[in-house]
């Protein structure tokens, strides 16, 4: 698995997306509105640890299901937060981010909001999030389950299903999901595709015409 993760991360989301296309599969790319924290250059990969929640009016000092979900995380996972109908409030802020960092998470994807962004930028935990807000979730939105199949907003389709253990790849181009069942096949194809891209890039750098390159490599 480590070899596959390294190969997929080095290839990047664009190459992985192209490979899905060659397999006649719709690339499972997440919402294009996701933005990086701390900023450009964010890249991470790892198995999905899924969390889902819902808007709900309630009282109390903390969301115990949310805290338990974070306490159960293990090193290397990428928590994927499905906000579903969340609106205007955060899934978490500085304290829970510190907890995810302490548990060794590889990165975080949030189909929802975060707060304390200035502080989050100082932490060495890369994130891709949909929006920022000062509003807390307590009393407004809460976690309903963890480590179950979830739906998050997609780029090429309205919703993308993420199952625990699916591989999450994030970089400057966005976030793409590689289902666990496809990891070996996608990795093998990515290696071939990346090699072809590298050769095409070198030929173009040396002055080869684009039409000639298309005829030679079959794709640009």
Count of domains forming the chain = 2
pLDDT digits (tens, 9 = 90+) for 201-210: 888 999 988 8
Domain CATH for 152:
3.50.30.40
What is the structure's pLDDT at 110?
98
What mean pLDDT is reported for the chain?
94
Based on the fold, state whether residues 23 and 73 are members of the same structural domain.
yes
Average pLDDT over residues 123-147: 96
Query: Does one domain contain both 61 and 133?
Result: yes
51 and 144 co-located in one domain: yes
Three-class DSSP category at 140 = coil
What's the pLDDT score for residue 41? 96
Judge if 69 and 89 occupy the same domain: yes
Same domain, 17 and 98: yes
Do 152 and 206 belong together in one domain?
no
- Region 190-211: mean pLDDT is 86
Q: Are residues 173 and 199 in the same domain?
A: no
Over residues 20-55, the pLDDT tens digits come to 999 999 999 999 999 999 999 999 999 999 999 999
Higher pLDDT, 205 or 60: 205
Cβ(130)–Cβ(112) under 8 Å?
yes
pLDDT in tens, 160-179: 999 999 999 999 999 999 99
Q: Are residues 154 and 207 in the same domain?
A: no
The DSSP output letter for 76 is T
Range of the structural domain that residue 208 is part of: 188-217
100 and 132 belong to one structural domain? yes
**Stronger pLDDT, 200 or 94, i.e. the higher one:** 94
pLDDT reported for residue 56: 86
Residue 17 sits in the same domain as residue 57: yes
Task: Please give the average per-residue pLDDT across 125-149, as a whole number.
Answer: 97
Q: Based on the fold, state whether residues 31 and 139 are members of the same structural domain.
A: yes
Q: Is the pLDDT of residue 18 over 90?
A: yes
Return the pLDDT at 214.
87
Residues 6+ apart with CB under 8 A from 129: 34, 35, 37, 108, 109, 110, 112, 113, 114
Query: What percent of the chain clears pLDDT 90, i.e. is strictly above it?
Result: 81
Within this chain, do residues 173 and 193 fall inside the same structural domain, yes or no? no
73 and 40 in contact (C-beta within 8 Å)?
no
Measured CA distances, 143 to 29, 89, 128, 171, 217 (Å) = 24, 13, 19, 27, 48
Band of pLDDT at residue 59, cut at 50, 70 and 90: confident
Least confident of 11-20, 129-138, 201-210: 201-210
Is the pLDDT score of 57 beyond 90?
Answer: no
């Amino acid at each position: 698995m480590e070899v596959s993760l390294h190969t997929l991360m080095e290839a990047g989301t664009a190459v992985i997306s192209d490979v899905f296309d060659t397999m006649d599969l719709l690339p499972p790319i997440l919402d294009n509105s996701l933005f990086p924290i701390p900023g450009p250059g964010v890249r991470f990969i790892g198995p999905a640890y899924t969390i889902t929640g819902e808007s709900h009016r309630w009282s109390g000092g903390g969301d115990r299901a949310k805290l338990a979900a974070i306490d159960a995380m293990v090193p290397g996972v990428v928590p994927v937060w499905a906000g579903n109908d969340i609106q205007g409030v955060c899934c978490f802020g500085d304290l829970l981010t510190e907890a995810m960092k302490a548990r060794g998470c590889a990165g975080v994807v949030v189909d929802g909001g975060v707060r304390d962004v200035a502080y989050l930028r100082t932490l060495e935990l890369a994130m891709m999030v949909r929006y920022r807000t000062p509003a807390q979730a307590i009393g407004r939105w809460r976690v309903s389950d963890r480590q179950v199949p979830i739906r998050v907003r997609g780029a090429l389709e309205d919703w993308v299903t993420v199952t625990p253990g699916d591989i999450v790849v994030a970089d400057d181009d966005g976030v793409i999901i590689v289902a666990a069942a496809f990891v070996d096949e996608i990795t093998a194809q990515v290696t071939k595709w990346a090699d072809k891209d590298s050769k095409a890039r070198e030929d173009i750098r040396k002055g080869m015409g684009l039409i000639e390159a298309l005829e030679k490599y079959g794709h640009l």
